[in-house]
Amino acid sequence: MASSNKSIYSALAANLLIAITKFVAGFISNSAAMLSEGVHSVVDTANQLLLLLGLHQSKKKPDARHPFGYGKELYFYSFIVSILIFGLGGGVSVYQGISHIIHPDLPGNPTWSYVVLCSSVVFEGTSFIISAKEFNKLRGDQTWWQAITNSKDPSTFLVLFEDGAAVIGLFIVMICLFLGHRYHLDYLDGVASLLVGLLLIGVSVILARESRSLLMGEGIGKQTKARIEEIVEEDADVLKLMHILSTYQSPSEILIMLIVAFKADLNTDEINEAISRIRNRVKDEYNLIHFVIIQPESYMDKISANVQTYI
């Protein structure tokens, strides 16, 4: 969480300063692309605040109404961020772009736009490098895409995607602004805004997909499942692990439910001792697993039920 906070605060500081200068430059130079970039930075600033709110809310202690805690608050706010990028960032930029392609405005003095764009590249680029370094520490031996799809902390890859899109968007605007003034193609200002909007919509779709998966209850991976099965079935009182059900409550909290078939000759006390033993072994090996629910089930009854199903 500390590394993601560092990325969020660096992005927040950069976006807040850049948003103001982009709007000023956009009004002075009469550039739709610059105004779209200003909207983009405002949305990014709001997104960082929402992520910080989500991180804060996710750390609230469990209570009577939420016995498993508030960890999923982070996933909820991450999903809201992806919607904001789509609607406010992408939607507004696409609208402005189409409007200025159909009815191009005469561009004003581009000097301020170039100054702001170059400054923004420095600030956004610095923020992107910080978030990339922090994410690189977390990804281990995975590829970047594997690390993003496997990550259970959306605050890390959200900032990475936002900063990356911001840097690409700035270069798009810079190129279109230069070509528009160089060859007197006024509609290129609208084209730049349209391209930035489409870029943001593409990013928002990816982020929404990943955030939705976590919000809907993404579970543990195959390797972890296999290892838990080994732990359970190594216990002398266990016949077989029938099912594993799991979900991430937060990036640092996992809930699992184990359906276990114990030996038929065990009494209630022996089963309770076995349950306690298995629970401790699983939690000792995986410190992210905070909740382990174990339900005993008769192995023979399960076999009989399967036979009846096939008959």
Per-residue model confidence as pLDDT tens digits over 262-273:
998 889 899 999
Q: If you write DSSP's letter for every residue of 34-97 in order, what string do you get?
A: HHHHHHHHHHHHHHHHHHHHHHHHHTPPP-SS-TT-STTHHHHHHHHHHHHIIIIIIIHHHHHH
How far apart are the C-alpha atoms of 172 and 166, rounded to whole Å? 10
pLDDT tens profile 161-188: 888 888 898 899 889 888 988 888 888 8
How far apart are the C-alpha atoms of 302 and 1, rounded to whole Å? 43
Residue with tokens 């420095």: 122
What's the token pair of residue 48?
């960082």
**Is 252 a residue whose pLDDT tops 90?**
no
How far apart are the C-alpha atoms of 71 and 191, rounded to whole Å? 41
How far apart are the C-alpha atoms of 26 and 33, rounded to whole Å? 8
Q: Using alpha carbons, select from 22, 44, 26, 14 the residue that is nearest to residue 116.
A: 22
Report the percentage of the chain scoring pLDDT > 90. 22
Give residue 306's pLDDT: 46
* Model confidence band, residue 276 (pLDDT cutoffs 50, 70, 90): very high
Please report the beta strands in the chain, taking only residues with DSSP state E, as ranges in sequence order.
Answer: 238-250, 253-262, 289-296
Give residue 300's pLDDT: 55
**Is 310 a residue whose pLDDT tops 50?**
no
Mean pLDDT of 152-169: 84
**Is 130 a residue whose pLDDT tops 50?**
yes
What's the token pair of residue 285?
């090996």
Q: What predicted TM-score, i.e. pTM, was given to this entire model?
A: 0.75
What is the pLDDT of the chain when averaged over all its residues? 83
**Residues in the chain, how many?**
311
**Is 232 a residue whose pLDDT tops 80?**
yes
**Is 209 a residue whose pLDDT tops 60?**
yes
Report the percentage of the chain scoring pLDDT > 70. 89
DSSP letter at 151 equals: -
Strand partners, 246: 256
Give residue 304's pLDDT: 44
* Model confidence band, residue 250 (pLDDT cutoffs 50, 70, 90): confident
Give residue 106's pLDDT: 64
Most confident of 62-71, 82-91, 112-121: 62-71
How far apart are the C-alpha atoms of 248 and 20, rounded to whole Å? 38
Q: Which residues contact 76 (CB under 8 A, 6 or more apart)?
A: 54, 215
* Model confidence band, residue 295 (pLDDT cutoffs 50, 70, 90): very high
Order across the sheet with 253-262: list the strands.
238-250, 253-262, 289-296
- Find the angle CA(168)-CA(171)-CA(172) to the nearest 5 degrees: 85
Give residue 244's pLDDT: 94
* Coil vs helix vs strand at 85: helix
Give residue 144's pLDDT: 85
Please state the φ and ψ torsions of residue 240, each to the nearest 5 degrees.
-165, 145
* Model confidence band, residue 278 (pLDDT cutoffs 50, 70, 90): very high
pLDDT tens profile 212-226: 888 888 889 899 999
Residues 131 and 3: beta-carbon distance below 8 Å: no
